[in-house]
């Protein structure tokens, strides 16, 4: 199962949300701690408990979701209010679906270890192209102006990409309290920040897209407990931002519920 080999390794690190040890831990103990805030739930909505959620976004008032696992990977359009799948296209075995992002009239979708991505029409999910990349594909989001895509690959580095060619324009290292934050997964651009699920944790990192610094954490632990997430892979994953209505939604892998939570305050512009 996806990244299962990492589960045991990170079991003791999950409460920190950071892959750190030794001197790094000592440095972290001395440094000011990145603030943590518990997610404030505003609303609860149904979610497919069989969806191994990898990507999530809202565009034009519609919810789009990608799911993973071999033989279960799909791209979906979902009714937000009921959780009912309105439209779906499946990826063939052995592909393992990952993050998705909108660009113009397209949806781009990653796969985990095949270095292969797909372009679909947003209306009808018609396949219209492919692209390739080095390394693993995990999460993906788009800037609101559509100028760039941002991709995670399981490390503490985010790639900023040309949406037309998928070429890397720049790389950004993500740190919290001076320590690299590994296992960045699903991404979403919200109020001038990049929100990122951290694999094997119940945390969302609020990342400054210029410096890579984590400005704060959103704690979803109580939501995971409410969702009955007991399996080793049933972690928080999936962030969708309704920029028009200013609604923020989160869910997890095989969670039967999607939560609307209070969004973080908009990022301040530098002086």
Nearest partner of 74 among 61, 92, 62, 60, judged by Cα: 92
Q: In degrees, to the nearest 5, what angle opens at C-alpha 11 toward C-alphas 177 and 37?
A: 45
Let me know how long the chain is: 271
Q: How far apart are CA 211 and CA 46, in angstroms?
A: 36
Q: How far apart are CA 245 and CA 232, in angstroms?
A: 34
What does the pLDDT read at residue 268? Answer: 57
Give the count of beta carbons closer than 10 Å to the beta carbon of residue 245: 10
The residue-averaged pLDDT of 179-208 equals 97
Percent over 90 (pLDDT), the chain: 83
Give the count of beta carbons closer than 10 Å to the beta carbon of residue 52: 22
Q: In what order do the strands lie in the sheet with 41-46?
A: 41-46, 257-261, 247-252, 236-242
Give the pairing of strands 36-38 and 214-219: parallel
pTM above 0.85, yes or no: yes
At 42-77, the pLDDT tens digits run: 999 999 999 999 999 999 899 999 999 999 999 999
Got the DSSP string for 33-94? PPPEEE--EEEEEE--TT--EEEEEEETTEEEEEE-STTT-EEEEE-TTT--EEEEEEPPTT
The residue-averaged pLDDT of 233-246 equals 96
Write down the domain spans for the chain: 32-261
Superfamily of domain covering 32-261: TolB, C-terminal domain (2.120.10.30)
What does the pLDDT read at residue 9? Answer: 42
The residue-averaged pLDDT of 254-270 equals 83
Tokens of 138: 């995990």
What does the pLDDT read at residue 7? Answer: 45
What does the pLDDT read at residue 138? Answer: 98
pLDDT exceeds cutoff 50 at 144: yes
């Amino acid at each position: 199962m996806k990244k299962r080999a990492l589960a045991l390794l990170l079991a003791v690190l999950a409460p920190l949300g950071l892959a750190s040890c030794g001197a790094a831990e000592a440095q972290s103990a001395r440094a000011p701690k990145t603030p943590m805030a518990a997610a404030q739930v505003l609303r609860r909505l149904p979610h497919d408990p069989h969806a191994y959620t990898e990507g999530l976004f809202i565009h034009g008032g519609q919810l789009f979701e990608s799911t993973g696992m071999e033989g279960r990977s799909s791209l979906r359009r979902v009714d937000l209010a009921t959780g009912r799948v309105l439209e779906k296209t499946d990826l063939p075995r052995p592909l393992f679906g990952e993050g998705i992002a909108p660009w113009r009239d397209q949806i781009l979708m990653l796969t985990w270890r095949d270095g292969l991505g797909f372009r679909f029409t947003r209306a009808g999910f018609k396949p219209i192209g492919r692209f390739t990349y080095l390394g693993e594909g995990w999460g993906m989001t788009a800037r609101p102006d559509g100028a760039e895509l941002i991709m995670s690959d399981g490390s503490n580095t985010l790639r900023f990409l040309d949406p037309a060619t998928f070429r890397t324009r720049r790389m950004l290292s993500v740190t919290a309290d001076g320590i690299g934050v590994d296992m960045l997964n699903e991404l979403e651009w919200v109020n001038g920040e990049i929100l990122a699920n951290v694999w094997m944790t119940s945390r969302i990192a609020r990342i400054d897209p210029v410096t890579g610094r984590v400005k704060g954490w959103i704690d979803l632990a109580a939501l995971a407990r409410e969702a009955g997430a007991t399996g080793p892979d049933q972690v928080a994953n999936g962030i969708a931002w309704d920029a028009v209505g200013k609604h923020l939604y989160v869910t997890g892998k095989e969670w039967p519920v999607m939560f609307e939570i209070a969004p973080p305050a908009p990022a301040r512009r530098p002086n």
